[in-house]
Amino acid sequence: MARGIRKKLHLGSLLPFRCGSKSFQPEHSLIGGPGFSRVVFCNNTESQRVLNYGNNYVTSTKYTLATFFPKSIFEQFRRAANVFFLITAILSFTPLSPSSPVSSVLPLALVILAAMIKEAIEDLTRRKQDIEVNNRKVKVHRGEGVFDNAKWMNLEVGDIVRVEKDGYFPADLILLSSSYEEAICYVETMNLDGETNLKLKQAVDATSKLHEDSGFQNFKAVIKSEDPNANLYSFIGSLQLEEQQYPLTPQQLLLRESKLKNTDFIYGVVIFTGHDTKVMQNSTAPPSKRSKIERRMDKLVYFLFSILVLMSFIGSIFFGISTRKDLENGTMKRWYLRPDDTTIYYDPKRAPVAAILIFLTGLMLYSYLIPISLYISLEITKVIQCTFINQDLHMYYEEADKPAKARTSNLNEELGQVDTILSDKTGTLTCNSMEFIKCSMAGTAYGRGVTVVERALSRREELPSAVEVTNGEGHVEYSTKAAIKGFNFFDERITHGNWVNEPQADVIQKFLLLLAICHTAVPEVDEETGRISYEAESPDEAAFVIAARELGFEFYERTQTSILIHELDLISGRKVQRSYKLLNILEFSNSRKRMSVIVRNMEGKLLLLCKGADSVIFERLTKNGREFEEQTREHVNEYANAGLRTLLFAYRELDEEEYNKFNEEFTEAKNSVSADRDEMMEEVAEKIENDLILLGATAVEDKLQNGVPECIDKLAQAGIKIWVLTGDKLETAINIGFACCLLRQGMEQIVISSETPIIKALEKGGDNSAVAAAFKANVLQQIREAKESLTTLSKSSEALALIIDGKSLTCALEDDVKGLFLELALGCASVICCRCSPKQKALVTRLVKIKTGRTTLAIGDGANDVGMLQEADIGIGISGVEGMQAVMSSDIAIAQFRYLQRLLLVHGHWCYRRISTMVP
């Protein structure tokens, strides 16, 4: 979109509430008390420095110059062998030593020094990253309305900064204004929470008019807020400007490492700096992981130490006995030791003491039984192995210019001992790039594209391949390769404006119009080609807008209060420009599972356009709006079986009186800053999102990454168990399982689901505690029955697969059930856990790791996978489109799932073989 147009964009209705209300709710009364004591003097450096909040310098290194020596020494002496050699080195300085102290101290010093150098080199890499971040430049107000470039690390609380489009926020900021007239901006938080969708932020009205640098020449304000904390999604504060108080909420907070998108610039005031920022408050040191070989080496050291002690003990006993008999009746048996003129070591009169001292001497004499050079040899070998991994061209993803990266050298040999892989699905097995492929409009299914799941189904049932499948008219199926990113739809009945000839053309028109209007996407025009592209809050939403454009309804501009569309007129068959006045947007949320917009068309009609999950849309249909319900249900089930994500589309017309009443209540709810604001807005929206008329459903595909089925097949042949932990519903996960060869033809499926008739009946009646107890009992019964059938099925030598949904998994992970559940899961070749939360992913990983004692590997690409990666013995991060949270928490980073095959079966095999050969 042209800059001039965008700066006038009026999108207040896109926001969950309008800012600038002067009424403070109880939570804001906490300001000034414990935990809410931060005071920020905006644009007033002298007053601010008195509070000494510190600068914006951050560090992610493990050591500093002051702590490197003590910390690294502590790390080295966690190893049993090093502790033993330290003791012998200390003893070598006593007269007990049979050799020079140099022979004991020098080898130990070299081993410790080499390990410390390795630690320093690895930490130096992190240090370089910190230097690069701390030296980034941002424009800071220096007085007189002048903004100069300054380094991030020199920022202080209270500074006014200007961040340009596609720039990262250098600290936690309070948004003051932006290039948009209503002071909104779009923020990408991929680096924080792994979400690729854009988020809308808006400044308070009092500062929204500051669109020029010169406007900050005399700007003075005071912000009082909560103290630094780790909660990314909450913020309480107030802004005092010209003796007026304005509440501050998370809607004005711009977090460090977030990215400014689709906004030319923003002005903000620094509220938290450095390690006080929320992203740094959330950063935790990853757990210290040691390989099984290293732990086994410690056991070998203990064993060798026991032999050494035994040898010295036996020798000291015989020496003590011999020493006691050296002087008998004045005769010297060992005269050459001069027992009549000796020290305590050979004094026949103090034989027990002499035996103890010779025992210590024996420990030093036999200490070479434990090879001190083994550890340093292993460290050097592991570093070289990491180099092999990092430079392997077979694991280099040329398209994104991302090689494999071993972030730690401690776990190389573990790669060759992996027993169980726990994998995320979206973005890990799939591309996380949605394509509009099918739809159901007016009860008729459209779209001849073939999904990966359908191709896998045709192979399982020995049907013709996808490219050979013919349509109903006998024509050969279209290619499944998308010519346009996000649009993989092929159907001559709809494309090229042919939909106007369909029997239900008026319904199809409303459906396509809903595709083009019901969203929060922003169009951008390429000045060179004139091609319109879209920035949307989710990949699904972008696919919908692109589909509408390709099918004749091109959303191309937002004016101050309207959405402008080039649409195909049903009567004339020509493209016409139409304007729809945007009145309200009822945003999508996990609890609502739907999104709606209210617009007024050029004829003056008020329309509510809604899209959402089938479970919430079907129950909101009016009696006269269910004409296509039965056919649409069938199509939605078919799409789910084909591994597609589905949404239902519906609409209704509003009368003026009904809308005015709704708008009054909704505005009041939006202006509230109380803790129950979201609930209030949902209650108001619930009243108007009813009596809908069904139009149809959409189906988008999140395709598998290249090589995923082949990789999983090879890993299964190697005897590695593979678990998929996904948030998708059961049917979709099962079909994706078939597509990626996790589930195979002839494999017996054991399904534990909460969607059984018994459980549904329980949920409809009875109090919550009784329902919960009965639900748990039902899940436990399903697990026991599956466990009993497991024995019978395993005797037939058939491979087994376990599929369990999220509600059932919650019960299965309880202390009194998880043992039985794990026994069942371990008896299966494949396990799919559906509707998993991030916490459940981590709990499942911990259960498998602790209870089995075998090497577990977790692989994921998003922030919701971090717990799983840290719990596993080995964490693999996919450096894809979901930010860097997973990669930064991983032990090894790869760009594509298929590289896991080479990482485990080639590098893992040789790393383990070479390391195990080195260990005696």
> With contact defined as beta carbons under 8 Å apart, do 206 and 542 qualify?
no
* Pick from 527, 692, 678: nearest CA to 624: 692
Distance CA 809, CA 814 (A): 9
Distance CA 460, CA 912 (A): 37
Distance CA 410, CA 389 (A): 13
Task: Identify the active-site residue in 326, 424, 491, 873.
Answer: 424
> With contact defined as beta carbons under 8 Å apart, do 593 and 612 qualify?
yes
Is 649 marked within a binding site? Answer: no
- CB-side neighbour CA atoms (13 Å) of 534: 27
Report DSSP state, residue 865: G
Distance CA 889, CA 869 (A): 7
Is 79 marked within a binding site? Answer: no
Distance CA 722, CA 907 (A): 19
> With contact defined as beta carbons under 8 Å apart, do 881 and 427 qualify?
yes
Distance CA 495, CA 499 (A): 7
* Pick from 309, 364, 310: nearest CA to 86: 364
Is 816 marked within a binding site? Answer: no
Chain-centre distance for alpha carbon 124: 26
Residue 201 in tokens: 């932020």
**Could you give the angle at which helices 818-826 and 838-852 cross, rounded to 10 degrees?**
80
> With contact defined as beta carbons under 8 Å apart, do 636 and 645 qualify?
no
Burial class (CB in 10 A: 0-12, 13-18, 19+), 724: buried
Is 426 marked within a binding site? Answer: yes
Is 33 marked within a binding site? Answer: no
Three-state helix/strand/coil letters over 641-673: HCCCEEEEEEEEEECHHHHHHHHHHHHHHHHCC
Distance CA 682, CA 678 (A): 6
> With contact defined as beta carbons under 8 Å apart, do 215 and 146 qualify?
no
Which residues are paired to 533 by β-bridges?
524
Report DSSP state, residue 497: G
**Cα dihedral 580→585→589→591 (10° resolution):** -110
Is 555 marked within a binding site? Answer: no
* Pick from 682, 433, 644: nearest CA to 538: 433
Phi, psi of 420, rounded to the nearest 5 degrees: -135, 135
- Residue 313's H or E segment, with its range, is helix 292-324
> With contact defined as beta carbons under 8 Å apart, do 250 and 675 qualify?
no
Instruction: Please name the residue that has the structure tokens 């320093």.
Output: 120
Is 835 marked within a binding site? Answer: yes
Is 424 marked within a binding site? Answer: yes
Report DSSP state, residue 908: I
Is 451 marked within a binding site? Answer: no
Q: How big is the CA angle at 408 (ends 404 and 413), to the nearest 5 degrees?
A: 85
Is 726 marked within a binding site? Answer: yes
Three-state helix/strand/coil letters over 765-802: CCCHHHHHHHHHHHHHHHHHHHHHHHHHHHHCCCCEEE
Is 78 marked within a binding site? Answer: no
Sign of CA dihedral 631, 637, 643, 645: positive
Is 313 marked within a binding site? Answer: no
Single-letter amino acid, residue 18 = R
Which residues neighbour 133 within 8 Å (Cβ) at sequence distance 6 or greater? 58, 152
Q: Is 347 a catalytic residue?
A: no
Distance CA 847, CA 869 (A): 13
Is 865 marked within a binding site? Answer: yes
Which residues neighbour 323 within 8 Å (Cβ) at sequence distance 6 or greater? 339, 346, 347, 348, 351, 354, 355
Binding-site residues, in ranges, read 424-426, 541, 588, 611, 645, 726-728, 835, 841, 861, 864-865
List the catalytic residues: 424
Binding-site residues for Mg(2+), in ranges, read 424, 426, 861, 865
Binding-site residues for ATP, in ranges, read 424-426, 541, 588, 611, 645, 726-728, 835, 841, 864-865
